[in-house]
Amino acid sequence: MRSPISGSFSKLTDKPFSQSDLKIRIKQASQRRTFGYFLERKFELEEVISELNKYGFERDNYQRIIVTWGATLEAEEQAKLHNVLLWDFRDLLHEIADASKVKKTYFNDDTARTIQLFDMAASGRKATVA
C-alpha cells in the first residue's frame, strides 16, 4: 500500500517559534513550519536584510513570499498582518502544467520539464517539442 506524499507535509502554522527548539533535531521540522520561523529567520534577520541592501532592495521595494503546502487560517492572518504572500506549492505546479498545455514549449530546466512530462503522462497527451 502506498502512503500519500502529502502526509509528510504540514501546513504553515502560527504556533510559537522557538530558536532553542530549532536546535533540537526532533523539533526542527515543526519549527520550520511556523510563520514565526520565516519572519525571524528568513525575513527579519539582519544578515538577510543587509544582503538584500547590497542588491538595492530596501524594505518597501520587494515582496516577501512563502511557498508552502497549505496554511492554517491563523497563519494566513499573520501573513496578511505582516504583508507576506502565501503561495500554495500545489497551485504553482498546476500553473506550470497548465502553461505547458497552452504554449507548446520544450523546457530546458529539468524541474519544469519533469512537471510538464508528468502532466502529459497523467493526462494521456503525447510529448511535443516546439
What pLDDT, in 10s, does the model give residues 63-81?
999 999 999 999 999 999 9
On whether both 103 and 77 belong to a single domain, the answer is no
> Quick one: CA torsion of 76, 89, 53, 37, rounded to 10 degrees?
50
On whether both 20 and 38 belong to a single domain, the answer is yes
On whether both 34 and 47 belong to a single domain, the answer is yes
Residue 3 forms part of a structural domain: no
pLDDT digits (tens, 9 = 90+) for 30-71: 999 999 999 999 999 999 999 999 999 988 889 999 999 999
Total domain count, the chain:
2
The number of angstroms, rounded, from the C-alpha of 18 to the middle of its chain's C-alpha atoms is 21
Q: What is the DSSP string of 37-92?
A: HIIIIIIS-HHHHHHHHHTT--TTSS-EEEEES-B-HHHHHHHHHTTEEEEEHHHH
